[in-house]
Chains A and B, each alone.
Chain A
Amino acid sequence: MVIKVLSLNLSLLHNEVLLDIATFLARRWTNNSKVQVIIKNQKVPITRPDKNQITLPGPYHFPGTDFQRYRQWRIMLWYEAMRLTFCSKVMSYDHIFGFLLNTLETKRAEILGLRSWRGMEKEIVFNEGISWLSKPLLNSLYGKHKVAEAFSQYFLTGSLKGELFGNEFSRVQKGAELAKEILDHTIANDQGTEAIEQRIPELVRILELNSLASFPIITPASKVGFGRSVDEKGLLAEIEKLVKRKNLEPEQLVKKSKEIFEGREVNAEFDALVKESKRSENKGQEGIENLGLTVPKDVDSDESQIYDLDLIQRTKSQFKHWKTGWHEKHEEAGDEFDPETFVERLSRTFITDFKLSYRSKVAIVLDHSSSIEDSEQDYKRATVALCEALKFLKIKFGVYAFSTEAGQVRCWIIKPPNANWTRIHARRLAQIKALGGTPLAEIYALLEPVIRSFKPDIVATLTDGEPSDYDAVRRMVLMYRRMGIRMAALGLGRTLNAAVNISQNLQYLEYEKSLAVSMLGDIPKKVINLMQT
């Protein structure tokens, strides 16, 4: 048997790439497009059904090879997605009541989840196998903690790791029987979390525990420590045991176990994610710190509030006219003679069709000073719509923003030109708060080396046209224009008067093309004028 051990460093699996796939999978598994996934440095997952939110630890919290860690992380995501789908409440694991309720709910979510996602069965077996290896030995635990952990092991897997003494085993056995009965009844009667919650006190009594007693959280990471490798032979043996116990095609026990151990399908996904992480590594971000640019680091902001799907569709639709289509032009020679032009004695009497196709590069600069605070979300929505439309047309673009954080002006790199626009970039944008002054000229100066290297055809600035130093901005705009860059500006005003003021300011600032709108819905039709040559 060949045991594939990947030597890839898991740090190569970037959080952004993980978040992208996790968000996709969680939304599809839950059939809920509002689900938000967050990766945080914590021991246990936290799922908030009321907020459609799943918070997971990173894959490095799990033992094993990088691939095995990814597999465990993916199955944890599935369990939490199922919890979000079927459970109305998720309690904290750090007290007995919450621990017992969550244990029963884990099993219920698994049973119900497998009805729709039967392909997860093998991954569940793998997960049970590998997590069994890092489960605590009961002999090493004491008192109530020992009984609660033993109940969890026995109820979820049917086995105990270590020994129980005295009447402990009988309590655990009775508890598991009651838990099974509660679960069967709840599922058969199509009931939910509340039905289970009501019966947890019964379970607490049988196990002779105290509902409110605190419970130390045990996770693979806290048990085995970082980077601990897994005994591959032990894991395979454990998987074989589980395959036998679950009666999964018993005639092909060894073959099936090997397949589960190897997890080829998930491996192909893991490899693709590692490749993607490598591809996006340092893309357009080489030495950005030296240039004074910063990448927004938080990955827990909710980008869905700046995704205006209607605005995106309409912007896309307008941009299609810009990118593709046919355009009639009068020429001195051509395909079709135009008698009217001839009668009017105009020189270009022939009509020729030209196919429109635009190959250009765009840089978007977003002003996030406190003066735009009132329209902050609208500016973000407009930027996202613009980015989605540019991505749709496969136009290369970079997005930069500036604001003030902790008293310091920061120029943020939202999307480097060479990276593909994803929701993760929108998340970067969502977390920037409109604050501070508008040192637009300084930001243009800061971006100059980046812009010189990217060589965009257009720099589109979304601003309210109230920079700290008007003359300095005029000078910088003219300097960019001398570089052959088309300087365009777009302003959003809350009212018509505000839009008119912004428009006047932008004209004064020497932008080649500028416009201001008072309604977000006007952007799709108008923004195209900014882009056209």
Chain B
Amino acid sequence: MRVKPIVCDMAEIYLDWNDSLDVLTRAYSAGLFTIIIGPKGTGKTSLVRQFASNMNKELQSVNFSLRTRESHLIGSKTLDKGEINFVEGILVKSMKDGSLLYLDELNAAEADVLLRLDEALDDRRQVVLKEADGQVITAREDWSVIATINPLSHVGTKELPPQLLSRFPVRIRLEYPPENVELEIIMRHVSNIGDSKLDDVKRAIKLSKSLRDAAAVEELYYSPSIRETIAFTRLLNTGILPKKAAEIVFANAYDQWGEVEFRKVMDMIISIFGD
């Protein structure tokens, strides 16, 4: 059986279980930039998309990594039909449009990239384009920025320089939700979960929580996110046995750290789901 990819409206899916939307709205109306701090898969991106949709704002997103360069943000010169043109980067574009700039995983960026961002985020809200003959770009009044960072324990993350952190005076901590809220989130993402499967979904949430706890005290290398419990539920809906679905979604990820790590997680799966 093939399941059609689920395309849905974020506004209907996002569950604002800790009133983050309210904080974002207030920060926006006060002209303050916000940073959302939390582990992967806790719904940071969904929250921002929901907020943009609520505010009817266009969302410009950039996902940072070690290889994100200044030119991605600012722009670069190109040669087109014998003419040298400056192609604006996402930062410049959003400042001009007054759109909502979403800086995802900001603490994965390199220092030189952060330096250019710092320039744009201070009170003057402007950036000097040395790449385009010193042109000065000033942001529109309604320009706003939301950034997210993963905790430092995540691979590829760095400590955010204090001066940059101070540009985001509103800070929202987004943790993994309680088990009942996680179930509700899953139910918003996966329709038609039969009553017979509900117990297994609850067990998968319990397993996920247990693995997150283990990762938090350095007993495991990887902490599963809500994405994994959603994936488990979707697989379950295809008719696969719960133990098998849990093995595919949760346990197999740990095999890369050795058989004992894999077996530890399998033991949890067997204890929870049985054969």
Whether a CB of chain B sits under 8 angstroms from the CB of A307 is: yes
Whether a CB of chain B sits under 8 angstroms from the CB of A423 is: yes
- In the complex with contacts A24-B264, A313-B152, A388-B218, A275-B275 CB distance below 8 A: no
Whether a CB of chain A sits under 8 angstroms from the CB of B23 is: no
CB neighbours of B266 from chain A (8 A)? 265, 268-269
Task: Establish whether residues A29 and B271, one from each chain, have CB atoms under 8 Å apart when the complex forms.
Answer: yes
- In the complex with contacts A33-B217, A313-B153, A314-B152, A21-B274 CB distance below 8 A: no
Find residues 131-183 in chain B having any chain A CB closer than 8 Å to their own CB: 151-153, 156-159
Whether a CB of chain A sits under 8 angstroms from the CB of B259 is: yes
In the complex, residue of chain B having the shortest beta-carbon distance to the beta carbon of A117: B271
Whether a CB of chain A sits under 8 angstroms from the CB of B88 is: no
Chain A binding surface, main DSSP class: helix
Find residues 115-129 in chain B having any chain A CB closer than 8 Å to their own CB: none
- In the complex with contacts A21-B264, A259-B275, A272-B263, A312-B218 CB distance below 8 A: yes
By the criterion of a CB under 8 Å from any partner CB, how many residues of chain B are at the interface? 34
Task: Establish whether residues B263 and A269, one from each chain, have CB atoms under 8 Å apart when the complex forms.
Answer: yes
- In the complex with contacts A313-B152, A317-B157, A326-B66, A272-B218 CB distance below 8 A: no
Alpha-carbon separation in the docked complex, A99 to B138 (Å): 79
CB neighbours of A388 from chain B (8 A)? 218
Q: Kindly provide the distance from the CB of A121 to the nearest chain B CB, expressed in whole angstroms.
A: 7
Q: Kindly provide the distance from the CB of B39 to the nearest chain A CB, expressed in whole angstroms.
A: 12
Task: Establish whether residues B274 and A122, one from each chain, have CB atoms under 8 Å apart when the complex forms.
Answer: yes
Find residues 164-207 in chain A having any chain B CB closer than 8 Å to their own CB: none
CB neighbours of B275 from chain A (8 A)? 119, 122, 259, 265
By the criterion of a CB under 8 Å from any partner CB, how many residues of chain A are at the interface? 44
- Looking at the complex, which of B13-21, B206-214, B223-231, B233-241 is the stretch in contact with chain A? B206-214
- In the complex with contacts A307-B218, A312-B218, A317-B159, A28-B274 CB distance below 8 A: no
A414-446 CB mask vs B (1 if < 8 Å, else 0) is: 000000100100000000000000000000000
Alpha-carbon separation in the docked complex, A265 to B275 (Å): 8
Whether a CB of chain A sits under 8 angstroms from the CB of B273 is: yes
Alpha-carbon separation in the docked complex, A268 to B275 (Å): 14
Whether a CB of chain B sits under 8 angstroms from the CB of A325 is: yes
CB neighbours of A312 from chain B (8 A)? 218
Alpha-carbon separation in the docked complex, A273 to B266 (Å): 13
CB neighbours of A273 from chain B (8 A)? 260, 263
Task: Establish whether residues B271 and A325, one from each chain, have CB atoms under 8 Å apart when the complex forms.
Answer: no
Task: Establish whether residues A28 and B213, one from each chain, have CB atoms under 8 Å apart when the complex forms.
Answer: yes
Whether a CB of chain B sits under 8 angstroms from the CB of A380 is: no
CB neighbours of B217 from chain A (8 A)? 27, 33, 307, 309
Task: Establish whether residues B158 and A268, one from each chain, have CB atoms under 8 Å apart when the complex forms.
Answer: no
Alpha-carbon separation in the docked complex, A494 to B112 (Å): 38
In the complex, residue of chain B having the shortest beta-carbon distance to the beta carbon of A259: B275
CB neighbours of B272 from chain A (8 A)? 116-119
Partner pick for B264 among A25, A78, A324, CB 8 A cutoff: A25
In the complex, residue of chain B having the shortest beta-carbon distance to the beta carbon of A118: B274
Task: Establish whether residues A272 and B66, one from each chain, have CB atoms under 8 Å apart when the complex forms.
Answer: no
Q: Which 3 A-B pairs have the closest CB atoms?
A: A119-B274, A317-B152, A272-B263
If A272-B260, A272-B263 are given as contacts, then 4 extra A-B residue pairs at C-beta distance below 8 Å, sorted by A number, are A24-B219, A27-B214, A116-B272, A119-B270
Q: Report which B residues bind A (CB closer than 8 A).
A: 66, 110, 112, 151-153, 156-159, 206, 210, 213-214, 216-219, 258-260, 262-264, 266-275
